[in-house]
Amino acid sequence: MKKYLLLLVLIFITTSTTYSQKIGYEFRTNGKAYISTSYAGFEIRHRTDKEENRFTYRHKIPVFEKLTLSLPLHYKVEKDQATLEPRLMYKLEKVSLWAQKEFNHEENMNAAFGIDIPVKDFTYRIGWDSSNTVRVRLAKKF
């Protein structure tokens, strides 16, 4: 497991410095943690406490000047499961507020709410989801 995690971290570092638009790390109070990297609407996310990977394609649709609808389609590799997770994002002067709900035809998924705080090339996120979990994320744009 450690060998795979080290390999994945090296891949993330390499892709983040050569191809990625963003690399991030998120941890949650329920013990889950994630490393992600994205490029042009495509994202790869790895759950660090398990060998679990997710591929995402995200399409953003502007609704109003400050309101955006994000439509990510996820594929969870180990579960062989596709999900849709629409997110509404409202941009204020210094922060963005967001709410999302993950959908799948086989199971009830979490809803989540949060705040993104952009500072130069970094975005700090604090959020909460319906499983009573707090999410904290740091992402860096390249």
The pLDDT of residue 2: 55
Q: How far apart are CA 28 and CA 81, in angstroms?
A: 22
Which domains occur in the chain, in start order?
A: 2-141 (2.40.160)
CA distances to 51, 59, 92 from 84, rounded to whole Å, are 22, 11, 26
Q: What is the mean pLDDT of residues 77-88?
A: 92
Predicted confidence band at 106 (pLDDT cuts at 50, 70, 90)? confident
Reported as a single tens digit per residue, the pLDDT across 23-37 is 999 999 999 999 999
List all residues 6 or more positions away from 116 whose beta carbon is below 8 Å from its beta carbon. Answer: 89, 95, 96, 98, 123, 124, 125
Residue 126's beta-bridge partner residues?
A: 115, 136
User: 3-class DSSP state for residue 21?
Assistant: coil
Q: What is the mean pLDDT of residues 110-135?
A: 96
Reported as a single tens digit per residue, the pLDDT across 38-54 is 988 899 999 988 878 89
Predicted confidence band at 129 (pLDDT cuts at 50, 70, 90)? very high
Give DSSP secondary structure letters for 30-94: TS-EEEEEEETTEEEEEETTTTEEEEEEEEEEE-SSSEEEEEEEEEETTTTEEEE--EEEEE-SS
Tokens linked to 102:
């993950």
* Rounded percentage of the chain residues whose pLDDT exceeds 70: 86
